[in-house]
Amino acid sequence: MADFGYTVWILIVPFVAFIVLGLFGMKLKARISGLTGTTALAIVTALSYATAIRYFWGAGLVDGVFQKIIATNSTWLTLTDHLHIDMGILLDPISVMMLVVISTVSFMVHIYSLGYMKGEKGFERYYAFLSLFTFSMMGLVVATNIFQMYIFWELVGISSYLLIGFYYSRPSAVAASKKAFIVTRFADMGFLVGILILSFTTKTFDFVTLTDLNGPAITSTGGAVFMGMSVMTWSMILIFVGGAGKSAMFPLHIWLPDAMEGPTPVSALIHAATMVVAGVYLVARMFPVYYFAAPEALHIIAWVGAFSSLFAAVIATTQTDIKRVLAYSTISQIGYMIFSLGVSGYGGHDGLGFMASNWHLFNHAMFKALLFLGAGSVIHAVHSNYMTEMGGLRKHLPITNITFLIACLTIAGLPPLSGFFSKDEILTAAFHHDKVLFAIEYLVAGLTAFYMFRLYFSIFHGHDRQYEHKPHESPATMTIPLMILAFGSVFSGFLPFSSLVTSDGAPFESHIEWSVAVPSILIALAGITVAWVMYKKETTLPDRLAATFKHSYKWAYNKFYIDELYLFITKKVIFKRVSQPVAWFDRHIVDGTMNGIAWVTQTVSNRIKGLQSGQLQQYGFIFVSGAVALVLVFIYLVK
Amino acid sequence: MNQGVPLEFYIIVATIMFFTGIYGFLTRRNLITILMSSELILNSVNINFLAFNRYLFPAKLDGHFFSLFVIAVAASEAAVAIAIIISIYRRFSNINVENVNELKY
């Protein structure tokens, strides 16, 4: 077996970069610190690609099955003889694929940020956080056990928090970072409880043992039954809650659109391509357990994914902030991936959904990063986030225009771009599983094409607006990553994915099922055509439609009032009915007791402190009187 | 047995001396006088020791020793007290006990 020990440098290099930039960044020139971060990422990317090539076309495949290779592992914390938390590196098809995805997107974002963030205050801080994020995300995907994953999961959360709040002088950014942190943290509580229940039932944290088909997790009868479902199922549902929080699945999606307050490259890296797919990765990692031990949980996952994808797609059609459109589009696409895992079977061609989900994750990382970076390029040129203030930019931003168009066509799912292949596999998997879910996803495919081209036409077509200054194409540091990612979006569909990443590790042949593919192309084209009619030339048609469906439009525009609902629950119910009485009790009863004791002591001492007058003879008098009194007591009272 | 002065007389004298000492201790303002009053108190105790020793346990010497002991302690006490009074005088320019009240609440 080949030695993969060097993969530990994939974690060490960005961490060292974080330490160096974090501690000494202020002393370095901005440009040097940017280049330091980018160089570190270049090393990581090279290592990741080398690992991927050696794994997929070399050491990984033994007897026709991709092996799970533990590159390095050491015990970090021993809890009992059997239960210990390790730190290590696990290489298997999905983790190696994630290494490639993260390093590629992160590297592109590092390069892009050299141009985009130029001259920003806190440039070196930005790169330090990016390195921290890359380190945490890499640690998350290569985790050998679920607890290591949880540790890095939280690290990812904190780096996301730091980067969303990067413009910390802006109140909205601060609010958004807090919201993201609290919502994901709330979900992570479910994750932690799930881990604890799982480890209690199976006596292990280790992924290899957990996903072993003869292991304790899968062969167990599921333990005791609680509220109609086994403990195993409950633990897997709770673990999925953590994943749903990170992946912004309904109803924990509210943080993601607000997270767009961060710098745009950060949105591309964290809130589109890498961190938000951690939930998908988590479910994929635990997939055998879900499939064999907790099928009810998998069923829930399928519905949550499908509902989120539809829900977010509907909202995306009404938003005007381009980054928010992309954010909802991200939720929608991640819903696709989660859904695809939910309808997948295990092993061989049955595991089509699993393969398709990971493939879509891979493609989505490319084209969504491209979309965000393209949007960043547009924002950089126009200094506005609102598509109502944009138009006719195709003349001013030719490279951005073409790459953005490619990304839109990819996400819409037109052949031969990558999105077509993975989306087709997802729909095929859904078609063989559940017709209702298939119908939902089919509708979402059309909506996706519509809102993406609504965005595209509004930005790049139509007539020019009044711009502050003439928009110009972004510098090469920004356009080169766009071109590389566009290349990736076009050609990643030709990767033989089904022979690389499968549910049981054994490659299989997958074919395009034209009976599903043709209708999906047609609905995508229909979506594009509707967008063309409505937004290619500026007409009053969109406004008239919005007026016709006034109420439903208003609901979708206000994101179905989910934020308001949360505010209502937290402010009116939790704060007012629970927290306020508790606060009153704390302030008046608990503090009151303590204050009362202090008050009594103080008052009494104020009264009697006059005794300590410093007058020697007064003391003497009291002493003598006391002595006399004692004598009298002993003579007359004590017989 | 002893036909001389009865024990009560000694006790009366000692009591008068004792309360004179207490009175002086509590009312005089001059530290030297207070010191003298405390000597009176100690000496009244000495008288009691000697008288009781003589009348109750004539064969023993415990009372004598104890009063010698008290005299020794009183002498050293006077030395220390006068030293303190001198330093008080240096600090306050007088030896009125009412002025020495810095150590209070």
Q: Do B26 and A617 touch (CB under 8 A)?
A: yes
Per-residue tokens: A276: 């938000």
Give the closest of B27, B97, B105 to A616, CB-based: B97
- Best B22, B23, B26, B88 member to test A by mutation, with max A CBs in 10 Å, is B26
Least confident of A28-42, A209-223, A352-366, B68-82: A209-223
pLDDT (0 to 100) of residue B3: 64
Identify whether A216 is preceded by a cis peptide bond (ω within 30 of 0).
Answer: no
Check if B22 contacts A (Cβ < 8 Å). yes
B-chain residues near A615 (CB < 8 A): 97-98, 101
CA distance B2 to chain A (A): 30
Radius of gyration of chain A (CA): 30
Give the closest of B26, B97, B101 to A613, CB-based: B101
B39 vs A42: CA distance, rounded Å: 96
- Best A616, A621, A624 member to test B by mutation, with max B CBs in 10 Å, is A616
CA distance B59 to chain A (A): 30
Instruction: Residue A167: count other Cβ atoms within 10 Å of its Cβ.
Output: 18
Environment class of residue A145 by beta-carbon count within 10 Å: exposed (0-12), middle (13-18) or buried (19+)? Answer: buried
Instruction: Residue A625: count other Cβ atoms within 10 Å of its Cβ.
Output: 11
Identify whether A398 is preceded by a cis peptide bond (ω within 30 of 0).
Answer: no
A-chain residues near B105 (CB < 8 A): 609-610, 612-613
- Is residue A424 a contact partner of residue A510, using CB atoms and an 8 Å limit? no
Q: Do A609 and B105 touch (CB under 8 A)?
A: yes
A430 vs A439: CA distance, rounded Å: 9
pLDDT (0 to 100) of residue A433: 81
- Is residue A528 a contact partner of residue A457, using CB atoms and an 8 Å limit? no
Letter for the amino acid at A391? Answer: G
What does the buried/exposed string (b/e) look like for A195-229 if buried means 16 or more CB atoms within 10 Å of the residue's CB?
Answer: bebbbebbebbbbbebbbeebebbebebbeeeeee
Give the closest of A609, A614, A617 to B102, CB-based: A614
Check if B96 contacts A (Cβ < 8 Å). no
Residue A10 CB contacts under 8 Å (≥ 6 apart), including other chains: A44, A47, A48, A51, A99, A103, A138, A142
Q: Could you read off the pLDDT of B30-70 as tens digits, one per residue? A: 999 999 999 999 999 999 999 999 888 888 888 999 999 99
A-chain residues near B27 (CB < 8 A): 617
Check if A617 contacts B (Cβ < 8 Å). yes
Determine if residue A509 is left, alpha or beta; phi over 0 gives left, psi from -120 to 50 gives alpha, anything else beta.
beta
Q: Could you read off the pLDDT of A517-573 as tens digits, one per residue? A: 888 888 888 888 888 888 777 677 777 777 777 777 777 777 777 778 888 888 888
Paired residues of A78 in beta bridges: A84
Give the closest of A613, A617, A620 to B104, CB-based: A613
Per-residue confidence band for B2, with pLDDT thresholds at 50, 70 and 90:
low
Long-range contacts, A38-41 (Cβ 8 Å, 24+): A38/A107, A38/A110, A38/A111, A38/A114, A38/A127, A40/A13, A40/A14, A40/A16, A40/A131, A41/A14, A41/A17, A41/A103, A41/A106, A41/A107, A41/A110, A41/A131, A41/A134
pLDDT (0 to 100) of residue A383: 80
What pTM value is reported for the model? 0.77
Mean pLDDT for chain A? 85
A637 vs B11: CA distance, rounded Å: 24
DSSP class of A206: B
pLDDT (0 to 100) of residue A223: 61
Dihedral in degrees, nearest 10, Cα atoms A259, A178, A238, A191: 100
Environment class of residue A485 by beta-carbon count within 10 Å: exposed (0-12), middle (13-18) or buried (19+)? Answer: buried
Check if A80 contacts B (Cβ < 8 Å). no
A326 vs A385: CA distance, rounded Å: 11
DSSP class of A321: B
CA distance A614 to chain B (A): 4
Per-residue confidence band for A197, with pLDDT thresholds at 50, 70 and 90:
confident
B-chain residues near A621 (CB < 8 A): 26
Summarize the confidence of residues A274-294 as an average pLDDT: 87
Asked if the model's pLDDT at residue A393 lies above 60, the reply is yes
Across chain B, which distance is largest between two alpha carbons, in Å?
58
Asked if the model's pLDDT at residue A222 lies above 70, the reply is no
Asked if the model's pLDDT at residue A218 lies above 80, the reply is no
Instruction: Residue A368: count other Cβ atoms within 10 Å of its Cβ.
Output: 29
pLDDT (0 to 100) of residue A604: 94
Check if A609 contacts B (Cβ < 8 Å). yes
Summarize the confidence of residues A187-201 as an average pLDDT: 88
Per-residue confidence band for A602, with pLDDT thresholds at 50, 70 and 90:
very high
Sign of dihedral through CA atoms A537, A541, A547, A548?
Answer: negative
Between the CA of residue A259 and those of A152, A156, A173, A336, what are the distances in Å? 20, 14, 8, 21
pLDDT (0 to 100) of residue A221: 61
Per-residue tokens: A493: 């569909």
Q: Could you read off the pLDDT of B75-88 as tens digits, one per residue? A: 999 999 999 999 99
Check if B21 contacts A (Cβ < 8 Å). no
Summarize the confidence of residues B19-40 as an average pLDDT: 92
Check if B81 contacts A (Cβ < 8 Å). no
Q: Could you read off the pLDDT of A60-115 as tens digits, one per residue? A: 777 777 888 888 888 888 887 778 888 888 888 888 888 998 998 899 998 888 88
pLDDT (0 to 100) of residue A290: 85
B-chain residues near A616 (CB < 8 A): 97, 100-101
B71 vs A323: CA distance, rounded Å: 100
For residue A618, the chain B residue with the least C-alpha distance is B26
Give the closest of B26, B97, B102 to A621, CB-based: B26
Q: Could you read off the pLDDT of A147-171 as tens digits, one per residue? A: 889 999 999 999 989 988 888 888 8
Asked if the model's pLDDT at residue B89 lies above 80, the reply is yes
B-chain residues near A625 (CB < 8 A): none
Q: Do A617 and B97 touch (CB under 8 A)?
A: yes
Asked if the model's pLDDT at residue A632 lies above 80, the reply is yes
CA distance B27 to chain A (A): 8
B-chain residues near A609 (CB < 8 A): 105
Q: Do B101 and A610 touch (CB under 8 A)?
A: no
Check if B97 contacts A (Cβ < 8 Å). yes
pLDDT (0 to 100) of residue A468: 67
Residues 23-62 of B with CB under 8 A from A: 25-27
Q: Could you read off the pLDDT of A433-464 as tens digits, one per residue? A: 878 888 888 888 888 888 888 888 888 887 77
Q: Could you read off the pLDDT of A307-345 as tens digits, one per residue? A: 899 888 888 888 888 888 888 999 999 988 888 888 888
Check if A621 contacts B (Cβ < 8 Å). yes
